[in-house]
Chains A and B, each alone.
Chain A
Amino acid sequence: MNMGGAIRAIISFLIFVVLHYTLRPLLGWRAPMDFLILALLLAAVRVRPSSAAVIGFILGLISDSLAPDALGAGALAMTTVGFGASYLKAVFFADNLVLNAFFFFLGKWVFDIIYFIGEQRVHGVELVQQLLLWSPLSAAVTAAVGVLLLFIMRPLLEPTPA
């Protein structure tokens, strides 16, 4: 990735982070979209797995700092998702919107599974309900929004021809 591409990727990453802390609380949905996961996935496919793990860890700590009871759970989940996304980027990140949507959906769902298990705040039926109902819904919303944003931000995210 050349310098221009890196700058554009960083700008896109920051836009997603800002959207996470502005649009998401403004909408306040029960199954919210997760712009941090989208930012992580978009960054992870452009860097090495170790870098993706570090980015995930930092993003996870950022999200955990606003919910101190779960400190570490988000970092663990995002580290795993970032590393996995970077590792599997060759498999998934073809120029196919449906595949990208599935990639976003899977990333968010895996994040939620690790997060809620690591957080240990919900148990039993509630945990099952969360992981099998609300998390997939949230993952679907995240995937839809991710695809929409990919479409909108295509000029910013497309690699520059050499």
Chain B
Amino acid sequence: MRPPAEAIGTLALIVGVIAFLIFVGVEAALVYAIWRYRATRHVAGEPATFERNQRLEIAWTAAPALILAVVFVLTLGTMAEINGAGVAPAMRIAATGHQWWWEFRYGGTKTANELHIPVDTPVDLDLTSVDVIHSFWVPELGPKMDMLPGTTNHLRLLARRAGSYDGQCAEFCGVEHAWMRIRVVVQSQAEFDSWLAAQASPAATGGDGERVFLSSICVSCHAIRGTTAAGTAGPDLTHVASRATIGAGVLPNDIAHMRAWLADPQRFKPGSLMPRVPLADADLDALAAYLGSLR
């Protein structure tokens, strides 16, 4: 099976070439008409009076119809190819849209904002939303698919090259729609397996930072497996430090940025549902360090 992005790319190229040829042809006819028949050019003679030609009308109705029929057949072909119906997926990942972050669930293992998939493996995403309509879109990996509350949509992913691919939410979902970015990491099967195993394991426990975490309101929204924190309104933080960004792409993920984020998330992502929690400086340092250790 071809990767969906490749199938679409080929079809787009064909349609693009056809469109370009039509564009050139029509615009050339237009320019020709203006140049050849402009009044300043012809001084003698009356303008023509012809005003109908049924054969011509039929011809230039039939020709586009024929071209479109061909394009339609190609469309059906590509649709059948990219929906992955003929090829069973090797794995299913549940993807849920939230305002304004992504929840990914591999069986029982939850993570957020960063999706890992093995290379050369057909993967199906089961897409839904807990609030408004979002849309999962990573252009280099395939088409987009909307995430509607109350229903489940499906999207087939198949990547042939390892690497990091970026995308973002493609259905206006509120004030921070622009900062609902996705990173998809395509890895070898071995690397993927070890990543998934690490994600499935509980967090290392203990320390000052963990104490701060468990004693503030963080626990009402966030979960860290291995502790008592089991909140579901916000992203799962069990392995938050394994991700490249904070806040679905709004900040790079290192301890300094994490500390700034914790001090005032509204400064970086105003309108997001994470409130500003007043914490003492020492507590912020400990918390940032703790979260930075959750690889």
Tell me whether A and B are bound partners: no
